[in-house]
Amino acid sequence: MNKLSRRQALALGLGSFLGAVGRHDPAAASFSDLALGDPEPFSFETLKERAATLAREPWKDARSPFTATLEAIDYTAFNKIKYRADKALWAGEEPRPAVQLFHLGKYFQEPCSIHVVVDGQAREILYRQNLFDIPVGSPARNLPNDVGFSGFRLMNAGQVGDWMAFLGASYFRASGELNQYGLSARGIAINTAMPFPEEFPRFSAFWLQMPAERVPEVTVFALLDGPSISGAYRMVCRHEGPVVNDIDCVLYPRRAIERLGVAPLTSMFWYSESRRRQAVDWRPEIHDSDGLAIWTGTGERIWRPLNNPRQVMTNSFVDVSPKGFGLLQRDRDFRNYQDDAVFYEKRPSLWVEPLGSWGPGEVQLVEIPTEDEIHDNIVAYWVPRDPVVPERPLEFKYRLHWVAHAPLPRDLARAAELFLGVGGTPGQERPAGVTKFVIDFVGGRLAELGPNDGVAPVVTTSRGKVVDSGCYPVQGERGRFRAFFDLAATGVEPIDLRLHLRKGDDALTETWLFQFFPDWDSPKPT
């Protein structure tokens, strides 16, 4: 199977669709400049019926029959193929986003069909080479009509860059309010980090519908198809500062699925300042996301910094109807990354807000070892508790927020920095097997509190012994408290740590979680 590095994928995803569009109500749009299929009635209900019928049939591999030609459209050749701006759908209808299409290529060989919906009638956009500027000598010139497309993107004003893209399997991404691509979302995850191969269902067809009013919004309908599942998706995508997706999906299992990942997020974490020794690169930190945030059904706020482990690690956070979870990029200081080419400090955070009750289940975090920034190695999703079996459809509604800062109650402080060092007391012999943890919390009510106001850390560990814990306000830094403790522990098994600050019965901070590997993470006394 061909693989595309995530750096290449980002470049391609940030790299035209319908032209001759009416200047007013989209229902009056003219598509005479395009080759279109016959009109067919369309609604979300008919899409769900189609997905349900598909699930009762054997899965069919829909790879293009033109493999030899597509193999020749490598990264370089693909990047030279440009959709024509004058063919973009809804061009000149700002603030409606113009839409451009992606060509097929070596790394995107499974074609999808793309349709426009007007007045309840859908018409397929048929592939023609004149939709693209294709260089002379490009292997793409050898493709026939009607081969399909690999995806599409929603353009910024004037078609200068894009703010959302659907490209490959069921992946999609948005640039967020800082206008920088980073992590991705997927339609669904099937058997991630299991002892057998993961399955990657794909969006095999899309239907695009604009609202009558001129707003920066488009409704994307999608048909999901894979060996184990089919599904119908309705995604309302809007861009007014942050990018927000309102998603309603109905899933139809073809067979029993051991691990179904709902609202899956995919990101990259190589190393951070607290684990700088893992790095071989000169830059201080390299990651698209630095932690998993969870807002539990009981109201607890959790922050779990990410790891780049030695082996695949899967951690589960059991819950009932969570209020939200997401992979966040909290550190927004350029000085901590020093990369003026890919701007990690601008990468969006992605927050999942369930709409309605999701019932019992768990948020799972999968961390995969990596030695480079070109590989996605972090996955997070929701796993429902009940078995996933055929003839039992599942429906999930949720909202994705592509933002700079995920929602956090104003009265609750957040974990800001983590430092690790050798345990013990400076000037004295340092004990073996003891690690010092220093965690800074900022915000919330901390600015109102001082050293004599009864603020105390609450620390627990899954094994080992916590000694010498405490906290204090950082001098000269109003609203910042520093918690510290020593952990005496050895061995190869990971340790799960929990910490928050309290004043009496009141939690002042979110709960900081950390997975620690004593034989690997512990700084060694000199």
24-61 pLDDT, tens digit per residue, is: 344 334 456 789 999 999 999 999 999 999 999 999 98
Distance in angstroms (rounded) separating the CA atoms of residues 512 and 273 = 17
pLDDT of residue 34: 85
Instruction: Tell me the C-alpha distance between 502 and 512, whole Å.
Output: 13
Of 4-8, 85-89, 100-104, 466-470, the range with the lowest mean pLDDT is 4-8
What per-residue confidence (pLDDT) applies to 8? 56
- By DSSP bridging, strand 162-167 and strand 132-133 are unpaired
pLDDT at 313: 97
Residues 6+ apart with CB under 8 A from 310: 369, 517, 520
Provide the residue ranges of all domains of the chain, joining segments of one domain with +. 6-403, 414-521
Beta-strand relationship, 113-118 and 202-209: parallel
Distance from C-alpha of 180 to C-alpha of 170, rounded to nearest angstrom: 20
CB 19 within 8 A of CB 99: no
pLDDT digits (tens, 9 = 90+) for 360-405: 999 999 999 999 999 999 999 999 999 999 999 999 999 999 999 9
* Of 14-18, 191-195, 400-404, 521-525, minimum mean pLDDT range: 14-18
pLDDT band at 11 (very low <50, low <70, confident <90, very high): low
Stretch (H or E) spanning 67: helix 67-72
- Say what the pLDDT of residue 297 is: 97
Segment 150-171 shows an average pLDDT of: 96
Spatial contact of 111 and 149, defined as CB atoms under 8 Å apart: yes
pTM for the predicted model, two decimal places: 0.93
199, two tokens? 């399955």
Rounded to the nearest angstrom, the gap between the alpha carbon of residue 225 and the centroid of all alpha carbons in its chain is 20
The percentage of the chain sitting over the pLDDT mark of 70, rounded to a whole number, equals 93
Q: How far apart are CA 473 and CA 416, in angstroms?
A: 14
Please compute the mean of the pLDDT values over residues 336-345 and round it to a whole number: 96
How high is the pLDDT of residue 28?
37
Burial of residue 506 (number of CB atoms within 10 Å: 0-12, 13-18, 19+): exposed
Q: Which of 23-32, 132-141, 190-199 has the lowest mean pLDDT?
A: 23-32
Residue-level pLDDT at 280: 83
Q: Are 489 and 504 in contact (CB under 8 A)?
A: no
User: Are 220 and 208 spatial neighbours (Cβ–Cβ below 8 Å)?
Assistant: yes
pLDDT at 521 over 90: no
Percent of the chain with pLDDT over 90: 84
pLDDT per position as a tens digit, 251-294: 999 999 999 999 999 999 999 988 766 678 999 999 999 999 99
Average pLDDT, the chain: 92
> Does pLDDT of 18 surpass 80?
no
Sequence-ordered strand ranges (E) for 7-161: 40-41, 82-83, 99-102, 113-118, 121-124, 132-133, 151-155
Joined tokens for residue 270? 């190589």
Spatial contact of 294 and 302, defined as CB atoms under 8 Å apart = yes
- 230 against 13, higher pLDDT: 230
Choose among 78, 67, 1, 83: nearest CA to 34: 83
Strand boundaries in 137-257, DSSP class E: 151-155, 162-167, 171-174, 184-186, 188-190, 202-209, 217-225, 229-239, 243-253
CATH 2.60.40.10 for the 414-521 domain, yes or no: yes
Residues 487, 275: Cα–Cα separation, whole Å:
17
User: Residue 3: its pLDDT value, please?
Assistant: 57
Residue 44 CA: distances (Å) to CA of 125, 171, 217, 248: 19, 21, 18, 10
- Flag whether pLDDT at 19 surpasses 50: no
Cis peptide before 95 (omega within 30 of 0): yes
Predicted pLDDT of residue 500: 99
Question: Looking at the predicted structure, is the pLDDT value of residue 170 above 50?
Answer: yes
pLDDT over threshold 50, residue 207? yes
In this prediction, residue 203 has a pLDDT band, given cuts at 50, 70 and 90, of very high
Confidence bin at 515 (pLDDT 50/70/90): very high
Other C-beta atoms closer than 10 Å to the C-beta of 2 total 11
- Those residues whose C-beta lies under 8 Å from the C-beta of residue 526, and which sit 6 or more positions away, are none
Residue position matching structure tokens 């550190």: 331
Identify the three-state secondary structure at position 515: strand
pLDDT the model gives residue 2: 57
pLDDT reported for residue 279: 73
Overall average pLDDT of the 9-18 stretch: 43
Q: Which of 165-169, 322-326, 328-332, 410-414 has the lowest mean pLDDT?
A: 410-414
CATH label, 6-403, candidates 2.70.98.10, 3.40.50.1820, 3.40.190.80, 3.40.50.300:
2.70.98.10
Quick: pLDDT tens for 466-484: 999 999 999 999 999 999 9
pLDDT value for 30: 44
**Largest separation between any pair of C-alpha atoms in the chain:** 82
| Start-end of H helices in 323-438 | none
| 197 C-beta neighbours (distance < 10 Å), count | 8
The alpha carbon dihedral of 9, 65, 114, 226 has a sign of: negative
Which amino acid would we find at residue 137?
A: G
Average pLDDT over residues 203-219: 94
- pLDDT tens for 309-327 read 999 999 999 999 999 999 9
CB of 322 within 8 A of CB of 297? Answer: yes
